[in-house]
Amino acid sequence: MNSFFRQEVDAAVDALLLQQVILYPTDTVWGLGCDAEVPKAVEQLYKIKGRPEGKPSIVLVADLKMLARYVSEVPEALEAALAAQTRPTTYIIPAAHHLAPQLIGPDGTVGLRIPQDEFCHKVVRRLGHGLVSTSANVSGEPTPATYVAVDPRIIRQADYVVSWRQNDVTTVAPSRVVRFTPDGQLEVVRD
């Protein structure tokens, strides 16, 4: 791991531990993030984004153990689904807890994703908590796939802007979103 990468991980985690909002490259698009367990930080993130209340955001977790911290019961089929996934996938899981209330849907669900991207994974692992992952755009405006597409208003309002991958031009679509039906099947919410 090179020193620039390590410095960026450390700086992002330091900002998150101070309950700040970061602008960072996710495993999909550029995102705004904060500690998913800190309501004040989530409130600030939603203010920057102009996100309406009652519209939850995705939470990145490091592994199944961290995922299990945020739901009462891990769906039986989740491990097999994770092993079979071929692209970033967010799983909507019921009975969410230990999260800022803004991140829990009106039906008690939360969207959780285990990122394969090394930067995101290291940040989440070091933080030790879920990391909010919502696109770095003002609500209703286009999702920025690259740093240069991020609205300058968002950049100015973030407490810390990650420098890692700012020059990348490779684009990845937002994550696929699926939910488990009561009988354990996967239902696609966003493809």
Q: For residue 74, is it within any domain? A: yes
Q: For residue 86, is it within any domain? A: yes
pLDDT band at 54 (very low <50, low <70, confident <90, very high): confident
Dist. CA 74–CA 80, nearest whole Å: 12
For residue 149, give the nearest of 25, 12, 44 by alpha carbon.
25
**120: its two tokens:** 């995101």
Quick one: pLDDT at residue 52? Answer: 85
Q: How many domains does the chain have?
A: 1
Residue 79's domain comprises 3-182
Query: Strands 176-180 and 186-190, how do they pair?
Result: antiparallel
- The CATH number for 120's domain is 3.90.870.10
Q: For residue 45, is it within any domain? A: yes
| pLDDT at position 119 over 90 | yes
Q: For residue 89, is it within any domain? A: yes
Q: For residue 38, is it within any domain? A: yes
Q: For residue 187, is it within any domain? A: no
pLDDT: is 146 or 181 the higher one?
A: 146
Q: For residue 191, is it within any domain? A: no
Share of the chain above pLDDT 90, in %: 87
| pLDDT at position 182 over 80 | no
**167: its two tokens:** 């020059």
| pLDDT at position 57 over 80 | yes
The 3-state secondary structure of the chain reads CCHHHHHHHHHHHHHHHCCCCEEEECCCCEEEECECCCHHHHHHHHHHHCCCCCCCCEEECCCHHHHHHCECCCCCCHHHHHHHCCCCEEEEECCECCCCHHHCCCCCCEEEECCCCHHHHHHHHHHCCCEEEEECCCCCCCCCCCHHHCCHHHHHHCCEECCCCCCCCCCCCCCEEEEECCCCCEEEEEC
Q: For residue 188, is it within any domain? A: no
121 phi and psi angles, rounded to 5 deg: -60, -45
Quick one: pLDDT at residue 1? Answer: 64
For the stretch 134-172, pLDDT in tens is 999 999 999 999 999 999 999 999 999 999 999 998 888
